[in-house]
């Protein structure tokens, strides 16, 4: 799999796609259905092999697709996709096919069956690491990153560089209020 704006990220550096705390879109597919949801509650969990943690509420249709398929993608949306991020967070795939209704362009994952949401700035293809007790008690899902990609206009050589305002990652606070990521600086 390859696309104009999608270049591979080495797995040992995949954590850098999430390390600064962006809100993500979680996508999954199972048994002929696919869906996309928004998730601010995500974080890296390990470096190499890279792992992630994400909170998936029991009410979400995507959670069932992940339980069924054992796979998901964390897509990192950019400022140009803030409206889409709110939209997928405001409806349920249980009630309608969000990908069709919202005309979300997707591409097949390279390793997992879950779709990649086009025009995001990074993608982490993940295999679920089943934790039934943790999932039931805390809605907390763990995954191993099996492939990672980034838009080289925003991330290359292991670093984010946001020359284009529309490509900045977005960080949800509450109720559709976001902050874009800001100025890069070096400390220490």
| Residue ranges in contact with a second copy by CB under 8 A | 13, 16, 19-23, 40-46, 51, 53, 55, 79, 82-83, 85-87, 90, 131, 134, 138-140, 142, 158-160, 168, 170-174, 176-188
Closer residue to a second copy, CB minimum distance, 100 or 185: 185
Q: How far is the CB of 46 from a second copy (least distance, A)?
A: 7
Closer residue to a second copy, CB minimum distance, 30 or 172: 172
Closer residue to a second copy, CB minimum distance, 97 or 165: 165
Q: How far is the CB of 124 from a second copy (least distance, A)?
A: 14
Q: How far is the CB of 108 from a second copy (least distance, A)?
A: 28
Report the C-alpha gap between 127 and 104 in whole angstroms. Answer: 23
Nearest to 115 by CA among 8, 32, 174: 32
Closer residue to a second copy, CB minimum distance, 6 or 13: 13
**Distances 16 to 70, 149, 150 between C-alpha atoms, Å:** 23, 11, 11
Residue 134, SS3 per DSSP: helix
Pairing label, strands 7-8, 140-150: antiparallel
Q: How far is the CB of 118 from a second copy (least distance, A)?
A: 18
Is residue 162 within 8 Å of 80, Cβ to Cβ? no
Phi, psi (degrees; rounded to nearest 5) at 14: -65, -30
């Amino acid at each position: 799999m390859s696309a104009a704006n999608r270049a591979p990220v080495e797995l040992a550096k995949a954590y850098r796609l999430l390390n600064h705390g962006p809100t993500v879109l979680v996508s999954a597919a199972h048994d002929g259905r696919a869906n996309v949801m928004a998730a601010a509650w995500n974080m890296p969990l390990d470096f190499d092999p890279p792992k992630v943690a994400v909170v998936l509420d029991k009410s979400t249709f995507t959670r069932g697709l992940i339980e069924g398929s054992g796979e998901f993608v964390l897509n990192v949306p950019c400022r140009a996709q803030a409206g889409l991020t709110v939209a997928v967070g405001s409806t349920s795939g249980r009630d309608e096919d969000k990908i069709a209704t919202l005309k979300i362009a997707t591409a097949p994952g390279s390793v997992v069956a879950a779709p990649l949401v086009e025009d995001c700035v990074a993608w982490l293809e993940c295999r679920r690491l089943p934790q039934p007790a943790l999932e039931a008690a805390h809605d907390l899902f763990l995954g191993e990153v099996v492939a990672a990609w980034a838009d080289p206009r925003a991330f290359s050589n292991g670093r984010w560089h946001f020359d284009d305002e529309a490509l900045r990652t977005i960080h949800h606070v509450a109720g559709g209020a976001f902050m874009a990521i800001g100025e890069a600086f070096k400390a220490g």
